[in-house]
Amino acid sequence: MSNNVNDRSRRTRSYPAVFIIALAVAASVPRPARGEEGQTGDTLKQLEEQRTDAYARQLESYLGKLLTEEYVQRAERSWHRDYSSVDAYLASVEPNRERWRKVVKPPKLEKTGELERRPCPPLAELSGEWLFLPLGGLTAEAILVLPAGASPQKPAPLVITQHGIGSSPERPFGILDEGDHYHRYAAELVDAGFAVLSPMNLRSIERRNRIERLCRLADTSLPGIELVRMQRLLDEVAGDPRVDGERIGMWGVSLGGMATMFWMPLEPRIKAGVVAAWFNHRRNKMVIPDERYSCFLETTEDHAFFQGWLTEFTDSDAASLICPRPLLIQHGKKDRIAHWPQVVDEFKEARSHYEKLGIGERMELDLHEGGHEARTETGIKFLKQWLMEKPPTPTADFEITQRAAAR
């Protein structure tokens, strides 16, 4: 017993000795000079920044390659076009159209009240009206102008004129058009005998960024919401006996051009389109910075990025969902949204789908010497040809399918 007690005592007494030795050893280790602790922290922060930057570059390189270099092979696996006839072609791209619907994500919005009409004072000379249509918690709004002489006996073809991100429904008529980018093309359309519906979409980068964030949380998109707003207005206007509901076109500028490209694949009532200052080599435009054009990746325009867009829907492929309907692309060589030779290449790829169906004349490129603008002469000539002078492009089966999907 006594030996055990002595052993425990020796062990207990040894702890202070060990502690003293440890203190002595610690005291002998050189301490960092004043400020060296901060230097070590700064070095770690620098290393962490370098490590994170390297990871970010790795991610951007991986995704950039996925979206650009690997696009062609991915698209070849996704598209199975049948050019043996127009009907066979439409049937063959229907699965892609449904996947495009999942990119645009239009919500279900129904009319919840009667259409209201009010005068539009800035367009009093044209007897312009503001239209307001309640859609539950939203309201669809647009300006409607009918040409002189439009009547149930002589209904006018209709063109939807869609403004861009910094504009309003009045601007296509030449109102508040600083820089004259729109050249009064909506007013010129009225003079040429067209009825014009000019919808109000959300204006400004900041507003669209904010709302698009909420849309993503709700599994929809702002272009999808604005598509359905336009469709519900079109339900009303196409039923006006003074409007020829079988002859409807669309002409959008800038972000209005995006709306035209996004909406036509999902709205078969639009029989011909004009896309001004938007059509692009989409992979480069979205992903690859280049001093020859503005790249969306380098901007603050978060609203312009949509889930799944570049899985299979670069602009030439999106245009193949508009085919066989006539489509005119307007692009200015001085427009910094794109490097114009790349636009030409993308146009040729898009037109190839029309050519393989034997209808190459239905897609045209107006490559001009100007900038970010609409071109009234070529646009009106094109729409007169396809909405006034020739029978509208038949899309019966496609139209039935899309109307069912939209409901």
For 27-59, write each residue's pLDDT tens digit.
Answer: 444 454 444 455 678 899 999 999 999 999 999
> Is the pLDDT at 398 greater than 70, yes or no?
no
Q: For residue 104, what are the CA distances in angstroms to 25, 167, 179, 223, 368?
A: 70, 22, 31, 7, 30
Query: Quick one: pLDDT at residue 38?
Result: 54
> Is the pLDDT at 401 greater than 80, yes or no?
no
pLDDT above 90 as % of the chain: 85
**What does the pLDDT look like over 287-346, one tens digit per residue?**
999 999 999 999 999 999 999 999 999 999 999 999 999 999 999 999 999 999 999 999
- What is the average per-residue pLDDT within 8-16? 37
Higher pLDDT, 86 or 15: 86
Domain ranges of the chain: 2-67, 82-406
Query: Quick one: pLDDT at residue 28?
Result: 45
9 confidence band (pLDDT: 50, 70, 90): very low
Query: Quick one: pLDDT at residue 12?
Result: 38
- Structure letter (DSSP) for residue 379: H
- What is the average per-residue pLDDT within 216-221? 98
Query: Quick one: pLDDT at residue 406?
Result: 53
**What does the pLDDT look like over 110-168, one tens digit per residue?**
999 999 999 999 999 999 999 999 999 999 999 999 999 999 999 999 999 999 999 99
The CATH number for 82-406, chosen from 3.40.50.1820, 3.40.50.620, 3.40.50.2300, 3.40.30.10, is 3.40.50.1820
Query: Quick one: pLDDT at residue 345?
Result: 98
Query: Edge-to-edge strands of the sheet including 363-368?
Result: 116-119, 129-135, 138-145, 195-199, 156-162, 243-253, 270-276, 327-332, 363-368
Query: Quick one: pLDDT at residue 277?
Result: 98
Query: Quick one: pLDDT at residue 405?
Result: 54
pLDDT above 70 as % of the chain: 87
> Is the pLDDT at 2 greater than 50, yes or no?
no
* Angstrom distance (rounded) from CA 16 to CA 138: 79
Return the exposure string of 321-335: e unless at least 16 CB atoms fall within 10 Å of the residue's CB, then b: bbbbbbbbbbbbeeb
Nearest to 315, CA basis, from 377, 269, 273, 359: 273
- What is the average per-residue pLDDT within 270-280? 98
